[in-house]
Amino acid sequence: MTAPIPSPAARSHERPPVYVIGGGPGGLAAAERLKAHGVRAVVLEKSDRVGSSWRGHYDRLHLHTTRRLSSLPGLPIPRRFGRWVSRDNVVRYLEKYAEYHDLEVVTGVEVTRIDRAPDGAGWLLRATGGRELTAAAVVVATGYNHTPRLPSWPGSASYTGRLLHASEYRAPGPYAGRDVLVVGAGNTGAEIAVDLAEGGAARVRLAVRTTPHIVRRSTLGWPAQRTGILCRRLPVRLVDRLAVPLGRLSVPDLTERGLPRPGTGLYSRARAGAIPVQDVGLIAAVRAGTVEPVAALASFEDAEVVLADGTRLTPDTVIAATGYRQGLEHLVGHLDILDPATGRPRSHGARTLPAAPGLYFSGYTNPISGMLRELALDADRIGRALARSL
């Protein structure tokens, strides 16, 4: 699976390869589609194995999308992995995927900067060890969840309790018998809160800034993902209206438990990046009182946490499920192709910008229809586009 980086001598009589940056599902899928279209692709992965980001997720994690709708091109996820695939089985699948398709994967190489080639044809990649690699084109697939984002709350630097990002959380064992505040009511925060409550934490509170939309992962065998796929073809306002009665039917009113129904449209918020929370135990935990929704975290004062409503808490640990940045500034920030507000590329999939022809991005949106499904679709589009242009 691991291949050497093509040497200058080897490249002197042939077109430079397409370099794919990132050995996660997006990068591997893009490399497979390029290979299927007769384009040589070399995957550069900074860690020592493919799927490194998936290896670092918490133990409880399973895909919120179905096995059938999460496979990458050219290799279905095995049926024995079940309908909702576990983190460990996702890693096994990615390893098998690279092996099955005999992909050229070079590990232990981190690309630090991408520039136009001096002759204007292709790209020049600068990587660890002083490497300079010439590429016919580049696919950047370093991942949506790349760099943990920890807000600069007032007083956080002098907080005497334990504060960590959700990326450092693995399992509830170390928090048994402890008082834990989870900050952020997205899918990660909600699931970690449930994991802690079921794993023996003495008290679990969930700090909520904006009430999330909660949907059942599956209803009568119909997965929420399929609804999300259908919604992408409908007007936003129509989906927002339809979601209100459906939400009332499927999700109980938790207002008295501190989690009122959201006042904004489900699809409007999803288009803005706030994907609905898929229920994997949160509703039951809130109803039982084992997870207590509280106001948003406002600041820290010594050992205390101050909430937006003025409440003061003294938890043993604060786990910040506050999301990630894509961390692309050092790589391509100088090319003026990133959205200044979000730091994400202004193009994705098979579309490239006039200022950066041959530079593709995959995996920098958070679609309601499922990340792996969209990565697979993007990979196919990129493969066809590059096959035509090269």
pLDDT tens figures, 214-269: 999 998 889 999 999 998 888 999 999 999 998 898 899 999 999 999 989 999 99
The pLDDT of 202-210, averaged and rounded, is: 97
What's the pLDDT at 71?
Answer: 97
Instruction: Spell out the domains of the chain, with CATH numbers in brackets.
Output: 8-146+326-389 (3.50.50.60), 149-320 (3.50.50.60)
Q: Is 242 exposed, middle or buried (0-12, 13-18, 19+ CB in 10 A)?
A: middle
Distance, CA of 242 to CA of 382 (rounded, Å): 34
pLDDT in tens, 75-133: 999 999 999 999 999 999 999 999 999 999 999 999 999 999 988 789 999 999 999 99
CA gap 85, 178 in Å, rounded:
30
Instruction: Label residue 50 exposed, middle or buried (CB < 10 Å: 0-12, 13-18, 19+).
Output: buried
pLDDT attached to residue 6: 62
Report pLDDT for 233: 84
Work out the mean pLDDT of the chain and round it to a whole number: 93
What's the pLDDT at 72?
98
Residue 242: strand, helix, or coil? helix
pLDDT score recorded for residue 188:
96
143-179 pLDDT, tens per residue? 888 889 999 999 999 999 999 999 999 999 999 999 9
Q: Which two tokens stand for residue 352?
A: 């490239």
pLDDT in tens, 25-75: 999 999 999 999 999 999 999 999 999 999 999 999 999 999 999 999 999
